[in-house]
Amino acid sequence: LIYMAMALLHARRVQATPADVVDDIRRELASPFPLGRARRWAVRAGDSHTPHTLALRLAYRAADLVDRARGERARRPLLAELEGRLRWELQTTDHTGISPVSGLLTLLALGAAGGADDPDVARGWERLEGWIWEDDARGTRVAGARSASWDTAFALRALALAGVDAETPVVARAAGFLAAQQMTRPVVGGEGGAGAEAYRRNDRIDPTGGFCFAERWHGWPVSDCTAEALVALMESGDEALCNAQSREDAARFILRCQNADGGFGSYEARRSRVGLEWLNPSEMFGSSMTEASYVECTASCVEALARWAEGAGESQIAARARCEAARGAAWLRRAQREDGSWPGVWGGGTI
């Protein structure tokens, strides 16, 4: 999504209006080095976690030549598709985007295309404030993510483990909040359409049943967030908040995130059958071009599927959940290192 917005901005040759502040920023970022095409590959070694491969550089140069040769008319259908996908992304995330980085770039790209009167852009600028907070010690900052559903699930599980009665107000309120965050159906997507088919057209899996890292408005449910929320709500014991259908929907979403090797991805199962890391343009992230099987996600998903299946009877989906939980557990055993630890990705390198 970040690169879709950047592609749209570049293709339309968007430039900021000349101003003193723009010149100041350029001097701060580039001085004493001159700006220009000759500096496009210049990256400080300490900032380059994943250097560009030779193949990627050649691909960039080929794309640059094609870009110069293609006129605006030939580019127009591609730009319209990019704009449509970015707009759909805004509309299905309550105009926040998956993150403030991609959200901000999307607003700039769509704003350059449609002007200040674009209602999606106007709403997006309002929603951008939700990522921002400030305090007296460090001033204004922008959050990389919000985590209300994730935090609430763990708090509920801790309270259950501590033996706090499910009828107490704190548990009841937390469980009520968490249950309300489940995506009970695909979000309406404006011009891009709604329903599972619209998600497929936009290269997304059906989000029904999932829980996001933040809240429902975020629109991007995650496998382990769903797993932890499912277990937390089952432990709360309130059938009215999380009925049998809601639990099954959560289990089905988790299953949609399972990879062929038995492990679980984060937002979805891995799509590509070949490695794409040689195309990684980010410089700051490694192993980020495709989904993978993650120890953290797999552990949460295995527990949730196994515990849900215990009380789900002998239905076909319950039998599948038991089978896939066993496959996930087998993957975890294979992933364990000789010293007994596991490789971590989300927040820690070793578990």
Q: What is the pLDDT of residues 168-191, one digit of tens each?
A: 999 999 999 999 999 988 766 555
CATH 1.50.10.20 is right for the domain spanning 148-335 = yes
The stretch 70-99 carries a mean pLDDT of: 92
Nearest to 92 by CA among 1, 228, 180: 1
Mean pLDDT for all residues in the chain: 91
Domain coordinates of the chain in residue numbers?
2-36+47-130, 148-335
158 falls in which pLDDT band (50, 70, 90)? very high
Q: Is the pLDDT confidence value at 49 over 80?
A: yes
Q: Is the pLDDT confidence value at 149 over 50?
A: yes
Question: What is the reported pLDDT for 119?
Answer: 94
The CATH number that domain 2-36+47-130 falls under is 1.50.10.20
Question: What is the reported pLDDT for 188?
Answer: 60
Q: Is the pLDDT confidence value at 193 over 70?
A: no
The stretch 3-26 carries a mean pLDDT of: 88
Q: For 209-258, how does the pLDDT look when each residue is reduced to its tens digit (9 = 90+)? A: 999 999 999 999 999 999 999 999 999 987 778 899 999 999 999 999 99
Least confident of 7-21, 241-255, 321-335: 7-21
Strand partners, 133: 141
Non-local (6+) Cβ contacts of 301 within 8 A are 223, 224, 227, 254, 257, 258, 264, 325, 328
15 falls in which pLDDT band (50, 70, 90)? confident
Q: How far apart are CA 268 and CA 330, in angstroms?
A: 20
192 falls in which pLDDT band (50, 70, 90)? very low
Least confident of 5-19, 123-137, 152-166: 5-19
205 falls in which pLDDT band (50, 70, 90)? very high
The stretch 108-113 carries a mean pLDDT of: 91
Query: Hey, is 43 helix, strand or coil?
Result: coil
Cβ–Cβ under 8 Å, residues 152 and 179: no
Question: If residue 139 lies in a helix (H) or strand (E), which one and from where to where?
Answer: strand 139-142
Rg (C-alpha) for the chain, rounded Å, is: 23
Nearest to 213 by CA among 157, 150, 153, 257: 150
Non-local (6+) Cβ contacts of 87 within 8 A are 110, 120, 190, 191, 192
92 falls in which pLDDT band (50, 70, 90)? very high
- Output helix, strand, coil percentages for the chain, rounded to the nearest 5: 55, 5, 40
Q: Is the pLDDT confidence value at 194 over 70?
A: no
Q: How far apart are CA 22 and CA 14, in angstroms?
A: 14
Least confident of 15-24, 55-64, 115-124, 168-177: 15-24
One DSSP character per residue, 247-296 reads: HHHHHHHHHHTB-TTS-B-SSS----SS--GGG---SS-SS-SS----HH
Calculate the dihedral angle through the C-alpha atoms of 253, 258, 262, 264, rounding to the nearest 10 degrees: -100
Question: What is the reported pLDDT for 127?
Answer: 96
Question: What is the reported pLDDT for 261?
Answer: 97
| Residues of the chain above pLDDT 70, percent | 97
Q: What is the pTM assigned to this prediction? A: 0.92
Q: How far apart are CA 243 and CA 179, in angstroms?
A: 10
Query: Hey, is 135 helix, strand or coil?
Result: strand
Topology match between the domains 2-36+47-130 and 148-335: yes
